[in-house]
Structure 1
């Protein structure tokens, strides 16, 4: 068996970088987290987990669309590949500012919402993710940062990296769903802790943006 057939589609460094980026992104308050936390606090952990299944399905749809639809385009149109990478960096910088700016609202400061059926919870989780700009940017602009065309098929790499992102996102969000009620009470009693969380998240996002900005000029090659 040729040695090249044993080569994994993505490098260990790319997997680690993707996992760390996905971790920072999933810990950044956004539509998905707000919806999941709201359901968990207002309707219980079971409702939060059903909603999470819907968001997971949304990630799979994005992963398939991005990996299968953009793989060839990145090589055929190099400037588009570079442009997507630049947008990803700008979006990370935007998230960093949103986390660090004064007057930000914590994700666990949620309002009471009506109770919904399991089918509606799943459907709303799916729609929340499909309409979530953070999810779109993740697959269209951030994952391409870690694709190495010299290693082989970009589509296979995109699927592998997407699987890493989905795994990290589901695990972290499941833990957040299970702990949402306790965290909400804790932060309500300690406002300074919420501010510390936002500062740490913003700093990590800013550092990631700076590191990825160094890679923007690199173009796709076969």
Structure 2
């Protein structure tokens, strides 16, 4: 089992660090809302991964390949949600930064306001706004992961290949899921810290606007890709 575990850890690590939808969500949230926002989004994604792993352990993910209706329902729902995220990001970039300029003075003022918000989020203030932002980021992470049938198919198709003959399918699946989630947690920790540090250093409204625009286009691209996806 140890050999299979090590092989799985290596393969999963390569897949996890490949840029994708979940990483994009953590990146965008960390730049826009700081480390706490990025961590909340990552926690939501990890919760979704645990759910997919548990579903794989009991055989529920097989429905995604056995049932065209189940796959298409999840696929279309996920695409609609991603399209909504993309349009929201583009709308935010247009509304939030409308009329702003990239002048140093104005950028500094905007940066000061962002710094206050980040400080409040970091020190665990009792103000409702940061908490609402973290809850929204968590929900976005859960929804993005669970509404993506490719995530379920990933667990269903990859994990069984690393379960040794004669080993408990249920226990081995949960163990391999735990390894994958631990690796993802480490990866998202690195991404959220790097992205939030970049967001703190680059406080120009133009940078934030471009980041929102890039995120919006990326989410719309992921939505289109999901719409065109076929069952494995």
Normalising by structure 2, we get a TM-score of 0.56
| SS of residue matched to 2:95 | coil
**Number of matched pairs:** 190
Contact persistence 2:90–2:213 (CA under 8 A): yes
Does residue 202 of structure 1 match 2:216?
yes
Q: C-alpha displacement at 1:27, in angstroms? A: 5.3
Change (3 A) 1:198 1:55: closer
Q: C-alpha displacement at 1:84, in angstroms? A: 4.5
**Stretches of structure 2 lacking an aligned partner (at least 5 in a row):** 101-109, 160-172
**Stretches of structure 1 lacking an aligned partner (at least 5 in a row):** 37-51, 188-192
Change (3 A) 1:26 1:6: closer
Normalising by structure 1, we get a TM-score of 0.58
Q: Indicate the structure whose relative CO is greater, using CA pairs within 8 Å and at least 6 residues apart.
A: 2
Contact persistence 1:98–1:104 (CA under 8 A): no
Contact persistence 1:26–1:169 (CA under 8 A): yes
Structure 2 residue aligned with 1:170: 193
Q: C-alpha displacement at 1:176, in angstroms? A: 0.6
Distance 2:97 2:231 in 1: 35
Distance 1:122 1:67 in 2: 30
Does residue 140 of structure 1 match 2:173?
no
Q: C-alpha displacement at 1:144, in angstroms? A: 2.0
How large is the Cα RMSD of the aligned pairs?
Answer: 4.4
Higher alpha-carbon Rg = 2
Q: C-alpha displacement at 1:6, in angstroms? A: 3.5
Does residue 217 of structure 1 match 2:218?
no
Contact persistence 1:63–1:158 (CA under 8 A): no
Q: C-alpha displacement at 1:101, in angstroms? A: 5.5
Contact persistence 2:42–2:141 (CA under 8 A): no
| SS of residue matched to 1:217 | coil
Does residue 129 of structure 1 match 2:134?
yes
